[in-house]
Amino acid sequence: MSAPRTDISTLGEFGLIQHLTRNNEIRQASTLLTVGDDGAVIDHLGKQTVISSDMLIEGIHFDLSYTPLKHLGYKSVAVNVSDICAMNATPTHILLNIAVSNRFSVEALEEFYEGVYFACEKYNVDLIGGDTTSSPKGFNISVTAIGEVLEGRYVTRKGARPNDLICVTGDLGAAFMGLTLLEREKKIFLEHPDVQPDLDNRTHCIGKILKPEARLDIIEWLEEKGIAPTSMIDISDGLSSELFHICTQSEVGCEIFEDKIPFHEEMREVAFQFEIDPTACALSGGEDYELLFTVPQEAYEHIKFSEQISVVGYITDQPGQLHITTRKGNKHPLEAQGWQAFKK
Amino acid sequence: MSAPRTDISTLGEFGLIQHLTRNNEIRQASTLLTVGDDGAVIDHLGKQTVISSDMLIEGIHFDLSYTPLKHLGYKSVAVNVSDICAMNATPTHILLNIAVSNRFSVEALEEFYEGVYFACEKYNVDLIGGDTTSSPKGFNISVTAIGEVLEGRYVTRKGARPNDLICVTGDLGAAFMGLTLLEREKKIFLEHPDVQPDLDNRTHCIGKILKPEARLDIIEWLEEKGIAPTSMIDISDGLSSELFHICTQSEVGCEIFEDKIPFHEEMREVAFQFEIDPTACALSGGEDYELLFTVPQEAYEHIKFSEQISVVGYITDQPGQLHITTRKGNKHPLEAQGWQAFKK
């Protein structure tokens, strides 16, 4: 039995928006006006607004042959919420624009929105607007996330100071290994459509790439412990690239240690299987959406008790000098690889 | 001599963003942090924030064979600023996301950004962030516009009351005639590449489609005269469709008069030439980006002196009853055509 397929054209734009937002809930008291007008209205009470916007383009940022639409909806919200967290702000609202071709049915969009709403619930944000339109080809997503922060408490990439500790959350490199696994399964499937994928014991890596989480829990923990990071960024393009952003903007250098980079055991296994160096994945892999931040040394008394935060090195007063010390004790300059979508 | 062409890949993402935003100016005192971090930060001083987001997709919303990129940049900002105006708010900030294929050069993007900055200057808004990424095909734009309004002074589609006057700004239908002209010229060019287009005396219609303006001047005028519209919307999908939005959300009906709909003389000429009814263009044409709003009858003493505002009818207490009285005195029900991108 095939799933029902309702052509988008049967609803039209207004019908489609109404249909997709019919279960939209309001969680934030500051939401004065939501979806359904030319704009949304947000109230303020002496707080500052942080805002960020990002696109996810089919064929560049995701491959629908192995990305469930529900996960894609969740991820679209999570990666934007992650940017708000990376400013040390609390996410409050999102606007969602999608442009989709006629290849997608109403049911497909519903599935996508299910993921969106699931993420809104998880991060306690209100979906307050956006645009739904058609595209000649593919699924294009643009999300704007809004957050609030107490006056002057936002954290940029600019404030890292010599001797600050460099911290990362969670574990790194798993998203890249998840992507590598999925790309391999896709290739096998295209060549041998009868072979079933075996990804059962790879849930961590697959989960990191398909359904990443924003580290709002860390922002809340830092607030609770009274720790004010001196600089912060989310790790979307690999640790190395993000360290370059922080060091460049803060006009400092850094030393990190290979044996301090946090890895998940499953990620190590997959990396071993593919004969890829786990450290290279962490440095250049991307899409981890963990947080990278710097704190004064005094914060260590709290940080050391967190299982979610690893100290990977420290900031130096040598601008332009970014180094990693390997397990064998050799010191190498870091290279910024990062985002290469335009490069081939 | 051919224009220089720098491949986008030579700059990479960070280089590209830095390059494109190197002349970005700050105009709003509330801009605490702009492009270059995970998010932007906006300050507030007891005002409410209005926010809106819209996409422009190549092949759906614009055709680059006759749309100069500079105009496209201008229009991308203007149509989003228009949404903020339609809430009776003052635009303050925008975020711009673009996804472009390798077919576009750095020079092409510079041209686009020139238009963006020109519009930022015109509307006194700050470009504070966004995303620049690649797309497998085409030029996709997503703009988020932010505005501010005194507490509770925003105007929705919901407040129209029986006997309110229905007002429209500027003139209607010209954008659709401009589009019709450009589509014809494109067709002629494709069939006879040696024929030069003759659009010299069609600047109003062409200008309306390629470089529409947001009616911020009207918002300022209304404020100056102390007029608080009871409902407002911008005319992006044709007068008829927008009247349906206002009447449906306000639970009222309306009567409008064909002979009160404002037309530009040039638009009438072009419509005559194409044997299209000017009224049909105004009702269903779209892309005019004029404002449609309702005001209490007392406001007429001010409105009557504005050359930019036409009273086209009045609101009734008959929900679902939307009528137009023709020049000949016949009364017809209005039909909502509006946006049909998904319908064929």
Same domain, B69 and B139: yes
Structural domains counted in chain B = 2
A-facing residues of B in 222-261 (CB < 8 A) are: 232-234, 249
| ipTM computed for the complex | 0.89
**What does the pLDDT read at residue A132?**
87
Same domain, A179 and A290: yes
Same domain, A189 and A324: yes
**The pLDDT of residue A44 is above 70:** yes
Same domain, B123 and B251: no
**What does the pLDDT read at residue B2?**
63
Predicted confidence band at B263 (pLDDT cuts at 50, 70, 90)?
very high
DSSP B21-49: TTT-----TTEEE-SSSSSEEE--SSPEE
**What does the pLDDT read at residue A338?**
46
**What does the pLDDT read at residue B340?**
43
**What does the pLDDT read at residue B337?**
61
**The pLDDT of residue A284 is above 70:** yes
Same domain, B170 and B80: no
Q: CA dist A46 to A30, A151, A314, B49, B260, Å?
A: 12, 7, 35, 12, 46
Predicted confidence band at A38 (pLDDT cuts at 50, 70, 90)?
confident
Which residue stretches of chain B are H helix?
Answer: 12-20, 69-85, 106-123, 174-191, 203-210, 216-225, 239-250, 265-273, 278-284, 300-303
Interface test with B, best of A85, A142, A143 (most B CBs within 10 A): A142
Q: Do A140 and B137 make contact, defined as CB atoms within 8 angstroms?
A: no
Q: Name which of A318, A306, A312 is nearest A165 in CA terms.
A: A312
**What does the pLDDT read at residue A30?**
80
- pLDDT digit string (tens) for B44-96? 777 889 999 999 999 999 999 999 999 999 999 999 999 999 999 999 999 99
Using the Cβ of A149 and the Cβ atoms of chain B, whether some distance falls under 8 Å is answered with yes
Q: Is A204 helix (H, G, I), strand (E, B) or coil?
A: helix
In a domain, B191, yes or no: yes
Same domain, B212 and B298: yes
Q: Which of A47, A129, A133 sits opposite B341 (nearest CB)?
A: A133
Interface test with B, best of A11, A37, A230, A241 (most B CBs within 10 A): A37
**What does the pLDDT read at residue B342?**
40
**What does the pLDDT read at residue B344?**
35
Nearest residue on chain B to A129, judged by CA atoms?
B52
**The pLDDT of residue A50 is above 70:** yes
In a domain, B261, yes or no: yes
Same domain, A182 and A273: yes
- pLDDT digit string (tens) for A215-261? 999 999 999 999 999 999 999 999 999 999 999 999 999 999 999 99
Q: Do B53 and A84 make contact, defined as CB atoms within 8 angstroms?
A: no
Same domain, B239 and B105: no
- Poorest-confidence range of A291-305, B34-48, B189-203, B214-228? B34-48
Interface test with B, best of A53, A85, A98, A109 (most B CBs within 10 A): A53
Alpha-carbon gap, residue A135 to B13, rounded angstroms:
24
Domain housing A295: 165-333
Alpha-carbon gap, residue A326 to A344, rounded angstroms:
29
Interface test with A, best of B98, B233, B342 (most A CBs within 10 A): B342
Same domain, A128 and A204: no
Alpha-carbon gap, residue A240 to A337, rounded angstroms:
7
| Residue A97's CATH number | 3.30.1330.10
In a domain, B64, yes or no: yes
Q: Is B280 helix (H, G, I), strand (E, B) or coil?
A: helix
Global confidence as pTM: 0.91
**What does the pLDDT read at residue B14?**
66
Alpha-carbon gap, residue A287 to B35, rounded angstroms:
21
In a domain, B3, yes or no: no
The residue assigned the tokens 């190498």 is A332
**The pLDDT of residue B161 is above 50:** yes
Same domain, A145 and A194: no
A-facing residues of B in 294-323 (CB < 8 A) are: none
**The pLDDT of residue A47 is above 90:** no
Nearest residue on chain A to B49, judged by CA atoms?
A42
- Looking at A149, A173, A206, the residue that finishes a domain is A149
In a domain, A246, yes or no: yes
Same domain, A138 and A32: yes
Mean of per-residue pLDDT scores for chain A: 90
**What does the pLDDT read at residue A337?**
61
Using the Cβ of A335 and the Cβ atoms of chain B, whether some distance falls under 8 Å is answered with no
**B133 vs A contacts (CB less than 8 Å):** 55, 57, 60-61, 341
**What does the pLDDT read at residue B43?**
77
How many beta carbons lie within 10 A of that of residue B171, not counting itself?
23
Q: Do B130 and A53 make contact, defined as CB atoms within 8 angstroms?
A: yes
DSSP B183-226: HHHHHHHHH-TTPPP--GGGHHHHHHHHS----HHHHHHHHHHT
DSSP secondary structure code for residue B299 in this structure: G
Q: Do B57 and A134 make contact, defined as CB atoms within 8 angstroms?
A: yes
In a domain, B1, yes or no: no
In a domain, A2, yes or no: no
Q: Is A155 helix (H, G, I), strand (E, B) or coil?
A: coil
Q: Which of A44, A93, A136 sits opposite B60 (nearest CB)?
A: A136
Q: Could you tell me what percentage of chain A is helix, strand and coil, using 3-state DSSP and rounding each to the nearest 5?
A: 35, 25, 40
Q: CA dist B2 to B5, B68, B106, Å?
A: 9, 17, 15
Predicted confidence band at A2 (pLDDT cuts at 50, 70, 90)?
low
Alpha-carbon gap, residue B128 to B230, rounded angstroms:
32
**A27 neighbors A80 (Cβ within 8 angstroms):** no
